[in-house]
Amino acid sequence: MYNDQGEAIWVEETEGQAYDLKAQEIEGKYYLTYWQGDDRVRGHGSGEWVVLDSSYEEQGRISALEGLSADLHELAITKDSTALITAYEIRWVELSDADKADGTPGQIYTWDCLFQEIDLANNTLMFEWRASDHYSIADSFHGMGHTGTADNPFDWFHINSVQKDKAGNYLVSARYTHSITYVDGRTGEIIWIFGGKRNYFEDLSDGLATDFAWQHDARLHDVAAFPRIMRQPTYEDGHGRQDREHQLLTLFDNAAEDFVHSREYSRGLLLELKYPIGRAGGLSSQERRIISPSQEYTARLIRSFVHPENISSSSQGSMQVLESPTLGEDPTILIGYGFNAVWTIFDANGSVLCDAHFAPESTWETGEVQSYRAHQGKWVGRPRGAPKTALPSNYSERAVFISWNGATEVRQWLLQSAMYSHKRHWLQTIWHNVTIANWSGFETRIDFSERRVFQWLRVAAIDKHGSIIGVSEPMDMGRERIKHLVRQSIIAAIHTQKLFLLTHVAAPLLALLIVFAYGMANLAQLHTLLSA
């Protein structure tokens, strides 16, 4: 986790692979959630979602029900504090004539894709939707190759995002059908399909709105989310009633999968959709095919967000709309490039505001460093543990290093020193302030080269109000280091006062020695004369 200045805030090593870290609200409180498990199943995973509170203590885990494991692609907490989870399940299927290709056997093993809505309060299943109930393998753009066996099932749909909207319906993104599906929240029937072989929508942008491929992270938004770009919805019946739904859709268009590329770069898309009011009702998929695409369903490209270096990400990726703090202004857009270690913030017109690389460009498209999605959000971290301190290995450095993993409220560090620690002497309450330093990153160096310190050190964390919110354990600087520092101080003092010593001590002493030597010489000569 990074702050808004790109400084690391929290780093944690997990037992398995970790995906999709983000802050989510559950029953009025914010928690961190991330997927943890085995991602060696190509393109998805088998695991569970970890839930951490603001002190980074685990509060529970969320998994799929009905004997399934949670997939890594999605955990979305709804406004009702229910959980949307994606899952994959192996199924043995009989192929229809339409599904068969040359040389394809009549029966194969497939990965069926589904999502579940779970009531977190009692861990019960509220809703479930399966791709195989509504789609055919013939709808897929993904080649079967040598898959289709029990050990390597055919992944033909590949669900990768789910959203529940304010109407109670679900938006589903499927990478291998190049489609976004809007699902009735009561019946599970398809309301519409955007993109792919069964697209309902007429493209008003000469194909630029519907030609996305291998996409991720599809989300619906109100038109009011972009107040400057979008005008108010038009009313087409002349009676003050809008005859079609009018919404915005965002998605990350990978335009690539392994070595298959539909364009040279990946992009974020902001799209306008209009479609008839009402639910799918009793219309079958075949009936929907007949009436679409048509002017009842229209799509228009509003903005395309392309990285200046034309980055192409063959897997993963995200697009997040970041609300403007200024009323009436358009939001900014955060694009995460998934397989490539890059995230970029654009303004609503597509200009780059911030571009961050968290690995060298030489790692792009290698898979060495990647992040499934990039998220921005509010988070206050208050770890239970104390800040950690360390001294430099070089005795000549008068400094201390301080870090507090996960703490987001630290603004300054106060270095304190004492003759004794609380574990050894009643003077433990007498801590002397040495110096103060501003928080300057995940690890801050505090120098005290010109300051007097005792054997024991500690560092206090100070928030924006000037209050101490945490104190490190007392640290023994060590007798040898103390001796070394004292010796260094003496040497420094000598060098600083060398002119004074020369003029006020060494010179007079030398003069006395000369006088004494001269006097001794004269005395010896007198003694010789007297003896004669």
Q: Distance between CA 390 and CA 68 in Å, rounded?
A: 46
CB 85 within 8 Å of CB 116: yes
Q: Distance between CA 145 and CA 122 in Å, rounded?
A: 42
Which residues does 277 contact at the CB level (< 8 Å), separation at least 6?
Answer: 242, 243, 244, 245
Beta strands in 95-175 (DSSP E): 107-119, 124-130, 154-155, 159-164, 170-174
Q: For the residues 193-217, what does the mean pLDDT come to? A: 98
Q: For the residues 63-79, what does the mean pLDDT come to? A: 98
- Amino acid present at 77: I
Pick the closest to residue 43 from 153, 212, 205, 158 (CA basis).
158
Identify the DSSP state of 494.
Answer: H
362 Rama class: left (phi>0) / alpha (psi -120 to 50) / beta: alpha
In this prediction, residue 98 carries a pLDDT of 61
355, pLDDT greater than 50: yes
- Amino acid present at 285: S
What's the full length of the chain, in residues? 532
In this prediction, residue 241 carries a pLDDT of 43
Structure tokens at 188: 């599970």
Q: Distance between CA 424 and CA 261 in Å, rounded?
A: 68
Q: Distance between CA 86 and CA 173 in Å, rounded?
A: 11
Q: Distance between CA 184 and CA 1 in Å, rounded?
A: 36
- Per-residue CA distances from 448 to 283, 396, 453, 479, 511 (Å): 76, 12, 8, 18, 41
CB 285 within 8 Å of CB 198: yes
Structure tokens at 85: 């989870």
Angle (nearest 5°) at CA 181 between 262 and 296: 95
In this prediction, residue 235 carries a pLDDT of 46
34, pLDDT greater than 60: yes
178, pLDDT greater than 50: yes
In this prediction, residue 10 carries a pLDDT of 98
Structure tokens at 302: 């509003």
- Amino acid present at 363: T
Q: Distance between CA 126 and CA 115 in Å, rounded?
A: 11
CB 275 within 8 Å of CB 245: yes
Consecutive H or E run containing 399 = strand 399-403
Q: For the purposes of burial, counting CB atoms within 10 Å of the CB of 159, is it exposed (0-12), middle (13-18) or buried (19 or more)?
A: buried
Pick the closest to residue 128 from 113, 143, 140, 141 (CA basis).
113
Identify the DSSP state of 426.
Answer: G
pLDDT tens digits, one per residue of 406-430: 999 999 999 999 988 766 555 456 8
In this prediction, residue 240 carries a pLDDT of 41
Consecutive H or E run containing 50 = strand 46-52
Mean of the per-residue pLDDT values for the chain? Answer: 88
pLDDT tens digits, one per residue of 274-327: 999 875 544 444 454 555 466 799 999 999 999 999 999 999 999 999 999 999
In this prediction, residue 323 carries a pLDDT of 96
Structure tokens at 257: 């999968």
Q: Which strands make up the sheet holding 170-174, listed edge to edge?
A: 159-164, 170-174, 179-183, 190-194
Respond yes or no on whether the N-terminal peptide bond of residue 153 is cis (omega within 30° of 0).
Answer: no
pLDDT band at 395 (very low <50, low <70, confident <90, very high): confident
193, pLDDT greater than 90: yes
- Per-residue CA distances from 388 to 3, 127, 382, 432 (Å): 20, 46, 14, 19
Which residues does 419 contact at the CB level (< 8 Å), separation at least 6?
Answer: 425, 427, 430, 454, 455, 456
